[in-house]
Structure 1
Amino acid sequence: MLDPTLPLALFAEATMGKLNAKMAEGIMRYGRNPVVAVIDSTQAGKRVRDLCALNSDVPVVATLAEAQGLGAQVLVLGTAPSGGRLPQDWVVVLEQAVAGGMSLVNGMHDQLKPMFSDRLRPGQWVWDLRVPQGDAPPIAMARAATLRNTRVLMVGTDMAVGKMTAGLELTRSLQALGRDAAFLATGQTGIAITGSGIPLDAIRVDHAAGAVERMVLEAAKHAIVVIEGQGSLLHPGSTATLPLMRGSACTHMILCHRAGMETLDEPKTVRIPPLRDVIALNEGVARAGGALTPARVVGIALNTARLSQADADAALRAVEDATGLPAADPVREGADKLATTVLE
């Protein structure tokens, strides 16, 4: 877990304000550490609020040296290229950071610790978020289905539609209502924010559901657990939702969607079905035809960041009319409506 006093610089070269910079945005929105700069030479001179829906005066700078001059002690790779591989042109910046005494937080699949371990000074470290910890988990056996708590899984129509954000906001709302709720991270950003969790997409497929199951069983003391979603059943390149469903034996689901989306972000040839059909798909797979936990989608988390307030209100009403379920934008208006429907 990050020492919350350490100042961060977020490396988001050529991506700040775009979908790939969701780790940078997530850490600024929910992380405990002070962020002194975002590094993106294509947007240098601006502030974070100029590029995304965050009311932040954090400056965007062109170079690592500028971020160090502002006091940064930790460099966080705040963007995720497609496939999660480390671009070679980033290595020079990382070498400069390590040589300058900075520690590194890495969300890529490629590990940095083996690359830099012999160059680290006392007190300097590398945190590779996508390295599974501990022994290989056992094969999932529906053990979580025997628990008596509420298990809410965030599912989505696509990648990067706000599953982690909606899950964190839902957890906050439940806690504010006096409920014993915990957020279980399953991706690099959630792990960086909370300090715990599993890097689901780095776990072998045979053990993925077991890793989720073990995490959920370890959190069984909480009355409600909110499980961070990954991927989508609609995406041809995603396999993450199934082990999340199987391992958590979820009792509830929240469907996350971006307002106005008619196709996947990539490939755009895949159309998003009507949300009623998406709900039926997720419920059918989670229930496995009645063999497993009878999980229901109980609400819609709608990402309206690209809309005006009036258009957002209209989009929320349209989704509620189309699905018969309560809908809310957890960032714009909070997740109290979703928390209430989970409790009901």
Structure 2
Amino acid sequence: MSGGAGPLRPEARVVLLLHGGLDNLSGKTGLALLRYRPGPIVAVVDPRHAGASLEAVTGIERAVPVLGSVAEALPLGPEVAVIGLAPSGGQLPADVRADVAAALRAGLSVASGLHSRLGADPELAALRRDPAWIWDLRQEPPALAVAAARAAALPCRRLLAVGSDMAVGKMSACLELLAEAGRRGLPARFVGTGQAGILISGAGVPLDAVRVDYAAGAVEAAVLEAGRDLGPAGQLLVEGQGSLAHPGSTATLPLLRGSQPTDLLLVHRAGQRHIKGLPALPLPPLPELIAAVEALAALGRPDGLRPRVRAIALNTAALEPDQALRESRKLGDATGLVCADPVRQGAGQLLDALAPGEGGACPG
């Protein structure tokens, strides 16, 4: 079973495989599901933290037991085992493989966003029992086409999250905006472009699995599908990937081309001065980065619009609450933009800044 729209139903009972990832970035996919998946998660499997309180380890307020194995989770009635890890290289770790095999033997389905294709693994495929499935979502979608700026014809607004670095919270910002729009009764949809976003929403495009010539076209197809019946009041929230400032990232340009955004949201980690893990590569001043993103977003468009960065979603997870508020105000004053942490301070200010008539896209 390939990527794209997948078989993971919103109401499916999930056991989340997070071996060794409950307290660090290797588990960011699973942590995102714990924070944002509305459907049931019956257990987390992480032998390192078995028996611990999920909230104590992660800060996520969700009543889910942390267990040592899939076998311990079976009495809770899971239907799908979801791999929540994003290890370096995207390969299946040996300890996770053992629990995937246990899940398949027990008749569970398995969803994976790893580069390792579980459905093509003869040993694991032989363990699958009908009607269970294996969903390897990180696969190039079929019938790809080269992008042709088709998304510009959609009547809805299209917000693309762009980051000053990788893993700064672009997906979280979009999902917080989606939730705030829902609370206000506003029409909004989310387009997932990475494994966590696709697992949470059930559809999207795994951008890092698509050949570069078709990457913008794959984004375009996902945006057209998600926005086809959204009217002018609708907001399409496109999950960003990578960063223009990161030397190893190529994702921002196809997202700009494919989504033809009307608006941009900059996502930044408070206090970060250089690319994470690469201290010799300083981040540009945010006004310079904003100008660069806006200039690129204005190219390759049939509508003559120059999308603007409308607000800054600030990741303040490493700060105390009073520090976070001061940093948000400081950055807002420096850029003249609304700046807030959508997780800690709420997404209301950011959504207000995206309202029609507040600036944003204008003729070039």
TM-score normalised by L of structure 2:
0.88
For 1:294 and 1:318, locate their aligned partners in 2 and report how far apart those are by CA, in whole Å. 26
Within 5 Å, give how 1:83-94 maps onto structure 2: 83-94=89-100
2:166 aligns to what SS in structure 1? coil
Task: Name the % identity.
Answer: 44
**1:121 maps to which of 113, 123, 129:** 129
Deviation at 1:239, TM superposition (A): 0.7
Give the aligned CA root-mean-square deviation in angstroms.
1.9
Contact 1:53/1:305 (<8 A) preserved: no
**1:14 maps to which of 20, 38, 47:** 20
For 1:289 and 1:200, locate their aligned partners in 2 and report how far apart those are by CA, in whole Å. 20
Contact 1:191/1:198 (<8 A) preserved: yes
Structure 2 regions of 5+ residues with no counterpart?
1-6, 359-364
Amino acid at match of 2:50: A
Match for residue 147 of structure 1? 154
Amino acid at match of 2:212: V
For 1:6 and 1:249, locate their aligned partners in 2 and report how far apart those are by CA, in whole Å. 34
The 10-residue stretch of structure 1 (49-58 or 232-241) with the greater mean CA deviation from structure 2:
49-58
Contact 2:17/2:96 (<8 A) preserved: no
For 1:4 and 1:221, locate their aligned partners in 2 and report how far apart those are by CA, in whole Å. 21
Match for residue 80 of structure 1? 86
Match for residue 37 of structure 1? 43
Contact 1:47/1:56 (<8 A) preserved: no
Deviation at 1:100, TM superposition (A): 2.3
Deviation at 1:42, TM superposition (A): 1.9
Deviation at 1:89, TM superposition (A): 4.3
Q: After the TM superposition, which parts of structure 1 deviate over 4 Å for at least 4 consecutive aligned residues?
A: 289-292
For 1:156 and 1:321, locate their aligned partners in 2 and report how far apart those are by CA, in whole Å. 19
Match for residue 172 of structure 1? 179
Matched, 1:336 2:348: yes
1:95 aligns to what SS in structure 2? helix
For 1:317 and 1:17, locate their aligned partners in 2 and report how far apart those are by CA, in whole Å. 29
Structure 1 regions of 5+ residues with no counterpart?
none
Match for residue 3 of structure 2? none
Cα deviations across residues 128-148 of structure 1 (Å, max 9, x unaligned)? 111233312x11122222333
| Equivalent residue pairs, number | 343
For 2:46 and 2:330, locate their aligned partners in 1 and report how far apart those are by CA, in whole Å. 37
Contact 1:275/1:322 (<8 A) preserved: no
TM-score normalised by L of structure 1:
0.93
Amino acid at match of 2:119: K
1:133 aligns to what SS in structure 2? coil
Match for residue 307 of structure 1? 319
1:301 aligns to what SS in structure 2? strand
Match for residue 47 of structure 1? 53
Matched, 1:241 2:252: yes
Deviation at 1:290, TM superposition (A): 8.6
Deviation at 1:153, TM superposition (A): 0.1
